[in-house]
Structure 1
Amino acid sequence: MKKVEEKLMGLKKEYENMQVPDEGAEIMKKAMDRAKADKRRAETKKQWNRAVLGAAAAIAILVILPNTNEKVAYAMERIPLIGKIFDAITIRDYTYDDGHNSAEVKVPKVITEEEESKEHPAVNQVNKSVDEYTKELLTQFENNMQMEGYQNLDVSYEVVTDNDTWFALDIAAVQTEASGYEFHRFYNIDKITGENVELKDLFKEGSNYLSMISEEIKKQMQTKMSEDEGSIYWLDNQDYPEDNFKEIKADQNFYLDNEGNLVIIFDEYEVAPGYMGVQRFTIDKEVISDILK
Structure 2
Amino acid sequence: MKTTKDILSSFRKTYVSVPVSEDTKNHIIKTFASEEKKFFRKLRLIFWERFAAGTIGVFAICLLLAITIPPIRSFAAELPVIGKFVRILSGTNYHNNNSHHSINIKTPYIDSKNKALASLNKKYLADSKKKYQILEKDIKINKNKKISVTSSYQKLVDDRRFLVLERQSTKTMADSETTLLYDTIDKQAGTVVTLPLLFKSKHYITVISDQIEKQIKKQVKSSANKYYWTKKDLSEGVGTKGLILNAKHSFYINQNHQLVIVFQQFSIAPGYMGTPKFTIPTDSIKHLLINPNYLNK
- The C-alpha deviation readout for 1:226-264, integer Å capped at 9, x for no partner, is 111011011333563664734313211001112210001
Higher gyration radius (CA): 2
Say if 2:80 is the partner of 1:76. yes
1:278 Cα offset (Å):
0.9
Identity %: 23
Match of 1:150 among 146, 149, 152: 146
Q: Which residue of 2 aligns with 1:107?
A: 107
2:32, 2:80 within 8 Å by CA — same for their partners in 1?
A: no
Say if 2:205 is the partner of 1:195. no
Q: Which residue of 2 aligns with 1:9?
A: none
Q: Which residue of 2 aligns with 1:61?
A: none
Instruction: Give the partner amino acid of 1:279.
Output: P
| CA separation of 1:41 and 1:216: change in aligned 2, threshold 3 A | same
1:211, 1:247 within 8 Å by CA — same for their partners in 2?
A: no
Q: Which residue of 2 aligns with 1:177?
A: 173
- Structure-1 separation of matches of 2:209 and 2:47: 45
| CA separation of 1:32 and 1:146: change in aligned 2, threshold 3 A | farther
- The C-alpha deviation readout for 1:17-67, integer Å capped at 9, x for no partner, is 98xxxxxxxxxx999988765443133389xxxxxxxxxxxxxxxxxxxx9
Q: Which residue of 2 aligns with 1:279?
A: 276
Report the TM-score, using the length of structure 1 for normalisation.
Answer: 0.72
1:212 Cα offset (Å):
0.7
| CA separation of 1:97 and 1:236: change in aligned 2, threshold 3 A | same
1:14 Cα offset (Å):
4.7
| CA separation of 1:96 and 1:268: change in aligned 2, threshold 3 A | same
Q: Which residue of 2 aligns with 1:225?
A: 220
Report the TM-score, using the length of structure 2 for normalisation.
Answer: 0.71
- Structure-2 separation of matches of 1:185 and 1:225: 26
Instruction: Give the partner amino acid of 1:156.
Output: S
- Structure-2 separation of matches of 1:90 and 1:284: 34
Q: Which residue of 1 aligns with 2:45?
A: 43
- Structure-2 separation of matches of 1:215 and 1:188: 23
| CA separation of 1:38 and 1:98: change in aligned 2, threshold 3 A | same
| CA separation of 1:232 and 1:267: change in aligned 2, threshold 3 A | same
Q: Which residue of 2 aligns with 1:264?
A: 261
| CA separation of 1:150 and 1:14: change in aligned 2, threshold 3 A | same
2:204, 2:288 within 8 Å by CA — same for their partners in 1?
A: yes
- Structure-1 separation of matches of 2:86 and 2:118: 13
Q: Match of 1:287, SS?
A: helix
- Structure-1 separation of matches of 2:190 and 2:36: 26
Q: Match of 1:160, SS?
A: strand
Q: Match of 1:167, SS?
A: strand
